[in-house]
Structure 1
Amino acid sequence: MISSREIKEKAREFGVPESTIERDYAQNWLLKYLSSLNMALKGGTGIKKLYISNYRFSDDLDFTLLEQMDENTLSALVKKAVTQAREESGINFRDEVESIKTESGFRNTVYFHLLQRAAGTPISIRVDFTSPDYEQILLKIEQRRIFHPYSDECNFLVKAYSLEEIMAEKIRSLFERTRPRDLYDVWFLDPKVKRSKVLVILPKKFEIRGVKFDLSSLEERKNDFANAWEKSLGHQIKDLPDFDRVYEVVVEQLKLLGQWFSQSHTPK
C-alpha cells in the first residue's frame, strides 16, 4: 500500500481532494480482482484507467456483463475480489458489501479506509453491473492494460469497451438523464474518437433503449446541467472548463449529428 505522503502529493499534483486519490487507488486494486470476471469495463472509469491517463477521475466502476449472472452469485464474486484486494494491497476494505437489484442489472457498494482512521466514515466505491439483456455491445471488446500512476506494483489487463462505444453511450446518456459528466465526456472525447465508428452504432444504441434523439429536451435542461456542473465534477478534475463553453460546443456537435441522425434511423 502506498504511503499517506504519496496520496497527499498526488492530490496536489492532480489538483483534487485526497479522497479522490484514495478512491482512484483503491479502485485499481479492486478492479484487478474483478477483471477476471466475464464483463467489460465502460464509462468514465474505463476512459481514465485504460485510454487517457490524464482524464477526469471517476467515482464508480461500470461494467456490462457478458453472460447472465444472478445477484447472489455476482455479490459473492465481488466479496471475493474485495478480500483478495485487501490481502494483496493492504487497503482496509470492509467485509460489508451492499448489493441491490437495479433497473439495468445490479449494484454493489464497497467501502474502505485508507488515510482515515478505521472509526471514521469509510469511502465508498459503487460498482454497477449492466445485464446483457439490457445492453448490447456492438463493437469489438478491447483488452487494455491498466494505468496505475502509483509507486506500488499493480499491473493487469482489463476487458473493456472501445472508446467509440463509450462515446456512443455517452451521447445517448445526454437524452436519458441529466448528469454533467456525460456532457463533459462528449465534449472531451469528440476529437479523440473515430466518428465513423460511432455513427455506425449510434442508431442501434438509441433503439436498444427506445431513446429519442431530441435536441430540444437537452436544451430544456441546460440550467439543470449548469447548476450541478461544479458540484458534480469539481472534485474529479483540476481545471474544470467553463460550463457555457462546453455546453455550446456539445450542442453544435449534436446539431450536426442530428442532421445525419434524421437521415438514418430514429427509434419510434
Structure 2
Amino acid sequence: MISSREIKEKAREFGVPESTIERDYAQNWLLKYLSSLNMALKGGTGIKKLYISNYRFSDDLDFTLLEQMDENTLSALVKKAVTQAREESGINFRDEVESIKTESGFRNTVYFHLLQRAAGTPISIRVDFTSPDYEQILLKIEQRRIFHPYSDECNFLVKAYSLEEIMAEKIRSLFERTRPRDLYDVWFLDPKVKRSKVLAILPKKFEIRGVKFDLSSLEERKNDFANAWEKSLGHQIKDLPDFDRVYEVVVEQLKLLGQWFSQSHTPK
C-alpha cells in the first residue's frame, strides 16, 4: 500500500482532493480482481484507466456483463474480489458490500478506509453492472493494460469497450440523462476517436434503448448541466474547462451529427 505522503503528492500533482486519489488507487486494486470476470469495462473509468492516463478521474466502475449472472452470484464474486484486493494491497476494504438490482442490471457498493481516513467515514466505490439483455456491444472488445501511476506494482489486463463504443454511448447518454460528465466526455473524446467507427454503430446504439436524437431536449437542459458542472466535475480534474465553451462546441458537433443522423435510421 502506498504512503500518505504519496497520496498527498499525487493530489498536488493532479490538482484534485486527496480523497479522489485514494478512490482512484483503491479502484485499481479492486479492478485487478474483478478483471477476470466475463465483462467489459466502459465509461469514464475505462477512458481514464486504459486509454488516456491524464483524463478526468471517475468515481465509479462501470461494466457490461458478457454473460447472464444473477444478483447473488455476482455479489459473491464482488465480495471475493474485495477480499483478494484487501489481502494483496493492504487497503482496508470493508467486508460489507451493498447490492441492489437496477433497471439496467445490478449495482454493488464497496467501502474502504485508507491511511488517515481509517477512523473516519469510509470512501465508497460504486460498481455498476449492465446486463447483456439491456445493452449490446457492437465493436470488438479490447484487451488493455491498466495505468497505475503509483509506486507499488499493480499490473494486469482488462477487457474493455473500444474508445469509439464508449464515445457512442456517451453521445446517447446526452439524450437519456443530465450528467455533466457526459458533456465533458463527448467534448474531450471527439478529436481522439475514429468518427467513422462511431457513426457506424450510433443508430443501433440509439435503437437498442429506444432513444431519440432530439437536440432541442439537450438545449432545454442547458441550465441544468451548467448548475451541476462544478459540483459534478470539480473534484475529478485540475483545470475544469469553461462550461459555456464546452457546451457550445458539443452542440455544434451534435448539429453536424444530427444532419447525418436524420439521413440514417432514426428510432421512432
Give me the whole-angstrom Cα distance separating, in 1, the residues matched to 2:224 and 2:152. Answer: 41
User: Post-superposition shift, 1:118?
Assistant: 3.1
1:42–1:64 contact (8 Å) kept in structure 2: yes
User: Post-superposition shift, 1:20?
Assistant: 0.1
Give me the whole-angstrom Cα distance separating, in 1, the residues matched to 2:135 and 2:116. Answer: 38
SS of residue matched to 2:262: helix
1:179–1:225 contact (8 Å) kept in structure 2: yes
User: Post-superposition shift, 1:117?
Assistant: 4.0
Give me the whole-angstrom Cα distance separating, in 1, the residues matched to 2:36 and 2:190. Answer: 30
2:45–2:57 contact (8 Å) kept in structure 1: yes
SS of residue matched to 1:37: coil
Give me the whole-angstrom Cα distance separating, in 2, the residues matched to 1:229 and 1:247. Answer: 11
SS of residue matched to 2:73: helix
Query: 1:14 matched to which residue of 2?
Result: 14
Report the CA distance shift for 1:117/1:15 in structure 2 as closer, same or farther (over 3 A): closer
CA deviation profile, 1:97-146 (whole Å, cap 9, x unmatched) = 00000000000000000023433100000000000000000000000000
Give me the whole-angstrom Cα distance separating, in 1, the residues matched to 2:249 and 2:120. Answer: 42
Give the stretch that moved more between structures: 108-117 or 202-211. Answer: 108-117
TM-score normalised to structure 2 length: 1.00
Identity of aligned residues (%): 100
1:22–1:114 contact (8 Å) kept in structure 2: yes
Equivalenced residue count is 268
2:45–2:58 contact (8 Å) kept in structure 1: yes
Report the CA distance shift for 1:28/1:222 in structure 2 as closer, same or farther (over 3 A): same
Give me the whole-angstrom Cα distance separating, in 1, the residues matched to 2:220 and 2:197. Answer: 29
Instruction: Please report the RMSD computed on the Cα atoms of aligned residues, expressed in angstroms.
Output: 0.5
CA deviation profile, 1:46-82 (whole Å, cap 9, x unmatched) = 0000000000000000000000000000000000000
1:39–1:159 contact (8 Å) kept in structure 2: yes
2:60–2:126 contact (8 Å) kept in structure 1: yes
SS of residue matched to 1:263: coil
CA deviation profile, 1:2-57 (whole Å, cap 9, x unmatched) = 00000000000000000000000000000000000000000000000000000000
CA deviation profile, 1:166-193 (whole Å, cap 9, x unmatched) = 0000000000000000000000000000
1:116–1:122 contact (8 Å) kept in structure 2: no
1:20–1:235 contact (8 Å) kept in structure 2: yes
2:43–2:166 contact (8 Å) kept in structure 1: yes
Query: 1:143 matched to which residue of 2?
Result: 143
Give me the whole-angstrom Cα distance separating, in 1, the residues matched to 2:52 and 2:196. Answer: 20
Report the CA distance shift for 1:216/1:120 in structure 2 as closer, same or farther (over 3 A): same
1:16–1:237 contact (8 Å) kept in structure 2: yes
TM-score normalised to structure 1 length: 1.00
SS of residue matched to 2:124: strand
Report the CA distance shift for 1:117/1:225 in structure 2 as closer, same or farther (over 3 A): closer
Give me the whole-angstrom Cα distance separating, in 1, the residues matched to 2:45 and 2:12. Answer: 21
Output aligned runs, 1:32-71, within 5 Å. Answer: 32-71=32-71
2:141–2:162 contact (8 Å) kept in structure 1: yes
2:4–2:116 contact (8 Å) kept in structure 1: no
SS of residue matched to 1:67: coil
SS of residue matched to 1:100: strand
CA deviation profile, 1:174-220 (whole Å, cap 9, x unmatched) = 00000000000000000000000000000000000000000000000
Give me the whole-angstrom Cα distance separating, in 1, the residues matched to 2:149 and 2:247. Answer: 31
Q: Where do 5+ consecutive residues of structure 1 fail to align?
A: none
Give me the whole-angstrom Cα distance separating, in 2, the residues matched to 1:170 and 1:116. Answer: 36
Q: Where do 5+ consecutive residues of structure 2 fail to align?
A: none
CA deviation profile, 1:230-267 (whole Å, cap 9, x unmatched) = 00000000000000000000000000000000000110
Output aligned runs, 1:115-154, within 5 Å. Answer: 115-154=115-154
Query: 2:75 matched to which residue of 1?
Result: 75
2:213–2:266 contact (8 Å) kept in structure 1: yes
Query: 1:259 matched to which residue of 2?
Result: 259
Report the CA distance shift for 1:153/1:227 in structure 2 as closer, same or farther (over 3 A): same
Give me the whole-angstrom Cα distance separating, in 2, the residues matched to 1:45 and 1:115. Answer: 23
1:79–1:95 contact (8 Å) kept in structure 2: yes
